[in-house]
Chain A
């Protein structure tokens, strides 16, 4: 049971977002820029960025985040649930680029203690083709998921064990991103703008 009175029937971070829309807005926007929008040199795909988010969430043992972002990674072109599982088990033996492997080494250090990222790790990522922007975004994705994971677990949000729910959620995130535009959601009751609560409830009920 959640530690505070969160809206019922809404899973994970969405329940906390519904409880506090003022903080939800920048948190959604941050995830949207980091994971969904093309970067100014969009060389790191959304699949790869979702894999970084999933890997960090897995290291933080946050069930809701690793499952939902794993489903998003699997839904992007070139993604699959097998690939997600392989990355979480051991990025170095997974079927991903050397660049992503090097970025995941950095992400893991940011997750455990950011001060242990070394210039050598950064050089290795650069040698594999990583740009400054990609290194920046990797550090911030890893840091941000140390926030999202703690938020979700620290409030003891409802994290249902329901694979189909996460699959649907992942597909929606991969297609529409994180900012909850009305167009991204078929209206459930009536089309009112800025009502993410209704949209998320509908998702949970599916």
Chain B
């Protein structure tokens, strides 16, 4: 049960509906990082988000972003599982492996990233912007994961729920998909007054 009274929505969607003022920048940030045009594909960026969420052991975030990654990658759930298990032997580019190495260090402590880690990514063709975005995606998911777990949000186990929503977010994006946090008819009416009051 969540630590505070939240609208009956899974994962981060509960606290986002509870506090729209902070949901707005939280959604905008993830939209820019994971969806805006970038030399890293949406699938690659979702894999970084999924890997960090997995290292933080956040069930909701690794499931939903894993599902979004798979939706971007022609439904390939195997590659998502292999990146989480051991990205070094996963079927992804050498550049993405070097970026995942940096992301893994950020997840522990930003100060662990070395000049050699960054050089290794550059040697595989990573640009400054790609390195920047990798650092910020990893840092941002250290926030989203803690937000989701720290409030003890509802985190469904059924992979099919994530699969379906993953396809929708991959198609429509975060800002559009999360409009349903406040508009969804499935939101229990008992929570409606609280939403209106905010």
Interface string of A26-45 (1 = CB under 8 A from B): 11011001100100100000
**Per a CB cutoff under 8 Å, which of B57, B113, B145 touches A3?**
B113
Query: A25 to B133, alpha carbons, bound, how many Å?
Result: 15
Question: CB-nearest residue of chain A relative to B3?
Answer: A122
In the complex, the answer to whether A26 meets B22 with C-beta atoms within 8 Å is no
Residues of B within 8 A of A139 (CB): 3, 146-147, 150-151
Query: A139 to B151, alpha carbons, bound, how many Å?
Result: 7
Question: CB-nearest residue of chain B relative to A117?
Answer: B150
Residues of B within 8 A of A30 (CB): 22, 25-26, 29
CB distance from A31 to the nearest CB of B (A): 9
Given contacts A61-B111, A153-B109, contact A136 B132 (CB under 8 A): no
Q: Is A23's beta carbon under 8 Å from chain B?
A: yes
Residues of A within 8 A of B145 (CB): 114, 143
Residues of B within 8 A of A142 (CB): 146, 150
Residues of A within 8 A of B22 (CB): 30, 33-34, 137, 140
Interface string of B120-159 (1 = CB under 8 A from A): 0000000011011101101110111111111110000000
Q: Is A149's beta carbon under 8 Å from chain B?
A: yes
Chain B binding surface, main DSSP class: helix
Q: Is B11's beta carbon under 8 Å from chain A?
A: no
Q: Is A132's beta carbon under 8 Å from chain B?
A: yes
Given contacts A122-B3, A143-B150, A150-B142, contact A20 B29 (CB under 8 A): no
Given contacts A61-B111, A139-B150, A143-B150, contact A27 B25 (CB under 8 A): yes
Query: A154 to B21, alpha carbons, bound, how many Å?
Result: 28
Residues of A within 8 A of B109 (CB): 60, 150, 153
Q: Is B69's beta carbon under 8 Å from chain A?
A: no
User: How many residues on B have C-beta within 8 angstroms of the other chain's C-beta atoms?
Assistant: 48
Residues of A within 8 A of B24 (CB): 26, 29
Query: A45 to B149, alpha carbons, bound, how many Å?
Result: 25
Q: Is B4's beta carbon under 8 Å from chain A?
A: yes
Residues of B within 8 A of A40 (CB): 198
In the complex, the answer to whether A115 meets B138 with C-beta atoms within 8 Å is no
In the complex, the answer to whether A146 meets B136 with C-beta atoms within 8 Å is no
Query: A29 to B23, alpha carbons, bound, how many Å?
Result: 11
Query: What is the count of residue pairs linking A and B with beta-carbon distances less than 8 angstroms?
Result: 144
Residues of A within 8 A of B118 (CB): 3-4
Q: Is B110's beta carbon under 8 Å from chain A?
A: yes
Query: A15 to B19, alpha carbons, bound, how many Å?
Result: 29
Query: A113 to B21, alpha carbons, bound, how many Å?
Result: 25
Query: A3 to B36, alpha carbons, bound, how many Å?
Result: 23
Query: A147 to B107, alpha carbons, bound, how many Å?
Result: 9
In the complex, the answer to whether A122 meets B110 with C-beta atoms within 8 Å is no
**Per a CB cutoff under 8 Å, which of B18, B25, B115, B139 touches A154?**
B139
Q: Is B28's beta carbon under 8 Å from chain A?
A: yes
Q: Is B33's beta carbon under 8 Å from chain A?
A: yes
Interface string of B13-56 (1 = CB under 8 A from A): 00100110110111011001100100000000000000000000
Q: List 26 A-B contacts (CB under 8 A).
A: A4-B128, A4-B131, A5-B128, A16-B132, A16-B136, A19-B128, A23-B29, A23-B33, A30-B26, A33-B22, A37-B21, A60-B109, A106-B150, A110-B150, A117-B3, A117-B150, A122-B4, A136-B4, A137-B22, A143-B144, A147-B140, A147-B142, A149-B139, A151-B135, A152-B110, A153-B110
Interface residues of B (CB under 8 A from A): 3-5, 15, 18-19, 21-22, 24-26, 28-29, 32-33, 36, 57, 102, 105-106, 109-111, 113, 115, 118, 128-129, 131-133, 135-136, 138-140, 142-152, 198
Q: Which 9 A-B residue pairings sit nearest by Cβ, starting from the closest?
A: A153-B110, A154-B110, A114-B150, A143-B146, A147-B143, A26-B25, A150-B139, A114-B149, A150-B110
